[in-house]
Amino acid sequence: MSEFFTEYQMILIGLAGIFGLLMAFGIGANDVANAMGTSVGAKALTIRQAIIIAMIFEFAGAFLAGGEVTSTIRKGIIDASTMVDRPELLVFGMMASLLAAGIWLVIASYFGWPVSTTHSIVGAIVGFAAVGIGMDVVQWGKVGSIVASWVVSPLLSGTLAFLLFVSVQKLILNTDNPLAAAKKYVPFYMFLAGFMISLVTLMKGLKHVGIHLTFGESLLIAAGFGLVVLIIGKIVISRQTVNVDADKEFHYASVEKVFALLMIVTACGMAFAHGSNDVANAIGPLAAVVSIVESGGVIGAKSSLPVWVLLLGGGGIVVGLAFFGAPVMKTIGKRITELTPSRGFAAELAAATTVVIASGTGIPVSTTHTLVGAVLGVGMARGIAALNLGVLKNIAVSWVVTLPAGAVLSMIFFYILKAIFLP
C-alpha cells in the first residue's frame, strides 16, 4: 500500500489542503459570530470593525496557539486502530469529512444559521466511518454526549445570562442614579469578565502551545488578570460623566458606554480562544492525511503539524470571516432579540463562563450553542415577547440537521474518492 501513497502523494495532500482550506473558510464564516455577533448587535462595534478585530485575534489564536500536535481523529469519535491495515480508507474518510463539513458550513453561513463547526466535522466523520468502514468503528457513547450538549450548553449559558442581566437591571439600570450605581458595581463585572476570559484563553488557548498549567495555577493567573482589568476599569469609570444630551434621548446612554468598552475586551479574548481551539476542526483531519500519506500508510495516534497546515487553517478562518462572516453575525447580534451593550455583555460573559465550566468538567459543548443560549437568556429576562421565535425555530432546525447533513455528504464524497483512486 505504501506504493499507492508514493504514487498519489502530491495529489492526495493537495486535495486535502484544498478541502481543509474550505473547512477553515466555513469556520471563519460561521463561527466568528461567537466572538463578535453580540458586539455588533449591541452597536459596540460596526461589522467592519468586528471583522478587522476578529481577523487579528482569530488568526493569532489559530497560528500562535493552534497546536504543535493534534489528535489524529477529532474528539476521539472513531477508533483509528481498526484501520491500520486499510490506511487509505482513513485518508479518503478524512478528506471526505473536510469537504462535507466545509460545504455544510458555507450553506449554513449563506442562510445566516449559526451552527456548530465541531458538530459538522463530527457528523461527517461518523458518516463515512459508519457506512464506509463499519458501525463498530464509531464510539457511539461520544456521539451521544455531543447530542446531549445540544440541550446542556444553551440551557446552562441561558440560565447564567438570565441571572447576570437580572443582576445588572437590579443593581444598576433600575436605580435612581444608574451612572453612580455603575461606578460602584461595574468594576465587579469587569473583574468577572477579565477572570473568565483569561481562564478561557488559558484553558482552551494555551494548552496547544505546550504550556500546561494546573487548574489552580490557571485560577491564580486569571484572578490576577481580573484584578488588573478591575483597577483599569475603576479608573476609566471614575472619569465617566453624564452626557446630558445623549441621556435625554436614552436614559442609560452613559452607563451603556461603559458596558460597550467591556464588550470589546471580552470579544477579543473569545476570538483568540476560539481561533486556537476550533482551528483543529480543519487542521486535525488535514494533519492526519498529511501524516499518513507522508509515512506511507502508518496511522499514528498523534499527527505533527507542519507550519503550512497551521497557516492554512488560520488564513482560511480569516478569509471566511472577512468575506462571509456578516450573515451569521447579524442573526446572533440582531435577529434573536434586541441587544444593548449591557445585554450583550451579560450574554458574552455567560458564554465564556459556560465554556470554562465545560472545559473543567469535560462536557463537550459548542461555542455556537452556548452563545445562542446566552442571547436567548438575556432576551428571556425581558419577557418572551422580546424574542424572535421564528428565527429561533430556524436555528433549532439547523442544529438538528447539522450532524446528519455532514454525515450524508461525507458518505457521498467518501465513495466518490474511493471510486476515483481505487477503481
At residue 256, the pLDDT reads 84
Number of domains in the chain: 1
Is the pLDDT confidence value at 68 over 60?
no
Is the pLDDT confidence value at 158 over 70?
yes
At residue 145, the pLDDT reads 82
**Would you give the DSSP letter of residue 302?**
E
Helix 2-41 / helix 253-278 crossing angle, nearest 10 deg: 180
Helices marked H in 201-252 — which ranges? 215-238, 244-249
Percent share of the chain, pLDDT over 90:
44
At residue 244, the pLDDT reads 61
At residue 123, the pLDDT reads 92
Residue type, 120: S
- The string of DSSP codes covering 108-162 is HHHTT----HHHHHHHHHHHHIIIII-GGGB-HHHHHHHHHHHHHHHHHHHHHHH
E-assigned strands of 2-122?
Answer: 69-71
**Would you give the DSSP letter of residue 251?**
T
Is the pLDDT confidence value at 226 over 50?
yes
Least confident of 159-163, 204-208, 241-245: 204-208
Instruction: Tell me which residue has cell 504543535.
Output: 68
Helix 253-278 / helix 178-200 crossing angle, nearest 10 deg: 0
Which one is predicted more confidently, 82 or 60?
A: 60
Which one is predicted more confidently, 59 or 360?
A: 59
Place 204 in a pLDDT band, splitting at 50, 70 and 90: low
Reported as a single tens digit per residue, the pLDDT across 11-55 is: 999 999 999 999 999 999 998 888 899 999 999 999 889 989 999
Which of 89, 128, 126 minimizes the C-alpha distance to 422? Answer: 89
Domain interval for residue 356:
2-421
Is the pLDDT confidence value at 377 over 80?
yes
